[in-house]
């Protein structure tokens, strides 16, 4: 056939996780897991990635769906973005995720892209990795020998690099139900609605009697991975919303963020925009 774009690869429609483990053990780094494919397919089309084997996990039972029990929401890795966006559980119990969903790409991509795929791909400009840090998510990784749990805070190791071992697959995320005293805010700047952010901020934390506590400001598009703004979080602890509090948090960002030059602009521009969205997010939290 004419007009093929990716380098040649074999394709396996896996029916079971054991089959996935077999293929991962056999092919190692030369195999890629295909979930929604909305990032992977683009990198294949541009030949930024050229695996020997694609393992399609879309037909494995039990990897999809959203359920809540014992104060935790479990989101199956294969759950499509539009299922997450339409979920009443997410809207009520994990509102930060609900706020982020409309910013994730566009309808046709949300029909196909998956929650777990976005996490495992670990694009530093994607929304869900940063959101998962702000909400305190944990990820369930499964290998031949069983499962292990890794906190979102320990999962993202670098540019497209995660704590997932090459013989493991991400099967689910677990999100704590939002505590009664916590609020959420989300803001991102993009050239076109739905495009990857120039920079964005997902925030969740306590707003008790007007004072911020245990605040988690989690940035995306600001470095090689989602970044928790520890200094800004500390600056906010116990403070009420005011111009001075906002200024302190903005100043603290110099210690938190060291953005790279990218197609959107120089680091100084990103730092300026980080301060702008921090002010917007704090105002939203204080409302």
Binding site for another protein (CB under 8 A): 1-13, 34, 37-38, 41-42, 44-46, 52-54, 56, 58, 82, 102, 105-109, 111-112, 192-195
Q: How far is the CB of 192 from another protein (least distance, A)?
A: 6
Q: How far is the CB of 196 from another protein (least distance, A)?
A: 10
Kindly tell me which of 107 and 240 has the beta carbon lying closer to another protein: 107
Report the distance separating Cα 138 and Cα 94, nearest Å.
14
Kindly tell me which of 51 and 205 has the beta carbon lying closer to another protein: 51
Residue with tokens 């007009």: 3
Kindly tell me which of 101 and 217 has the beta carbon lying closer to another protein: 101
Q: Helices in the chain by DSSP H: which ranges?
A: 17-27, 40-45, 81-86, 88-93, 95-100, 107-110, 115-121, 127-135, 152-155, 230-236, 243-256, 267-286
Q: How far is the CB of 77 from another protein (least distance, A)?
A: 17
Report the distance separating Cα 254 and Cα 211, nearest Å.
23
Q: How far is the CB of 9 from another protein (least distance, A)?
A: 6
Q: How far is the CB of 198 from another protein (least distance, A)?
A: 15
| DSSP per-residue letters across 172-218 | EEEEEPPPTTEEEEEEEE-SSTTSPPSEEEEEEEEEETTEEEEEEEE
Q: How far is the CB of 7 from another protein (least distance, A)?
A: 7
Question: CB of 223 within 8 A of CB of 124?
Answer: yes
Report the distance separating Cα 37 and Cα 142, nearest Å.
20
Kindly tell me which of 3 and 70 has the beta carbon lying closer to another protein: 3
| DSSP per-residue letters across 139-181 | EEEEETTEEEEEEHHHHEEETTEES--TT-EEEEEEEEPPPTT
Kindly tell me which of 34 and 228 has the beta carbon lying closer to another protein: 34
Q: How far is the CB of 149 from another protein (least distance, A)?
A: 30
Kindly tell me which of 44 and 122 has the beta carbon lying closer to another protein: 44
Kindly tell me which of 108 and 260 has the beta carbon lying closer to another protein: 108
Q: Which of 203, 8, 213, 43 is nearest to 122 (CA)?
A: 43
- What's the burial of 75, exposed, middle or buried (CB within 10 Å: 0-12/13-18/19+)? buried
């Amino acid at each position: 056939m004419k007009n093929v774009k990716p380098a040649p690869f074999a394709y396996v429609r896996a029916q079971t996780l054991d089959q996935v483990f077999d293929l991962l053990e056999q092919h190692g780094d030369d195999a890629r897991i295909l979930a929604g494919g909305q990032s992977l397919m683009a990198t294949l089309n541009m030949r930024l990635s050229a695996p020997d084997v694609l393992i399609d996990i879309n037909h494995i039972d039990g990897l999809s769906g959203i359920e809540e029990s014992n104060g935790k929401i479990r989101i199956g890795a294969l759950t499509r973005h539009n299922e997450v966006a339409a979920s009443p559980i997410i809207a009520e119990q994990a509102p930060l995720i609900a706020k982020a969903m409309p910013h994730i790409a566009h309808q046709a991509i949300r029909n196909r892209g998956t929650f777990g795929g976005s996490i495992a791909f670990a694009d530093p400009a994607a929304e869900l990795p940063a959101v998962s840090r702000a909400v305190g998510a944990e990820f369930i990784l499964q290998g031949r020998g069983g499962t292990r749990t890794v906190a979102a805070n320990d999962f993202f190791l670098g540019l497209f690099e995660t704590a997932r071992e090459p013989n493991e697959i991400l099967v689910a995320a677990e999100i704590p139900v939002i505590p009664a005293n916590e609020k959420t805010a989300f803001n991102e700047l993009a050239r076109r609605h739905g495009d990857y952010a120039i920079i964005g901020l997902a925030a969740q934390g306590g707003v008790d009697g007007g004072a911020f506590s245990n605040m988690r400001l989690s940035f995306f598009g600001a470095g090689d991975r989602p970044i928790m703004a520890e200094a800004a979080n500390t600056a906010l602890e116990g403070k009420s919303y005011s111009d001075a509090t906002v200024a302190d948090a903005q100043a603290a960002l110099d210690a938190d963020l060291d953005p790279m030059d990218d197609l959107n602009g120089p680091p100084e521009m990103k730092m300026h925009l980080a301060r702008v969205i921090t002010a917007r997010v704090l105002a939203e939290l204080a409302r």
